[in-house]
Amino acid sequence: MKTGVIVYVVGKESLDDTIDFEEAGKRLSIKADRVEIVSSIPGNFDVMDAWWLLTVKGMKLIVCMIAEVVNRSQLRLTGRELRLCG
């Protein structure tokens, strides 16, 4: 079964263009067939867009993990997780 993960970026630290979400997401080493990063920054996916994309790409199990920005360049998973379909 193909697994997709949505990493939803939250936190108190400023979410601006200084962080490369794609690169920071790769450093999380999440074991999934496909990972999408979403945040509140205008122009980025929201959770529903990412869920739809993962569904269209054939993911049968989709999980949403919560991450925070640390040191303005890294992401850290909070441990909170939501199962969106399966």
> How many structural domains comprise the chain?
1
Q: For 49-63, write each residue's pLDDT tens digit.
A: 999 999 999 999 999
Q: Is residue 62 within 8 Å of 5, Cβ to Cβ?
A: yes
Edge-to-edge order in the sheet of strand 3-10: 34-38, 3-10, 61-70, 74-85
Give the range of the structural domain holding residue 74, as residue numbers without chain letter: 3-85
pTM of the model: 0.84
Of 41, 28, 52, 37, the closest CA to residue 6 belongs to 37
Q: For 9-45, write each residue's pLDDT tens digit.
A: 886 655 565 677 778 888 888 999 999 998 877 666 7
Strand-pairing partners, residue 61, are 3
Of 17, 34, 18, the closest CA to residue 26 belongs to 34
Which tokens in the block code for residue 85?
Answer: 């379909």
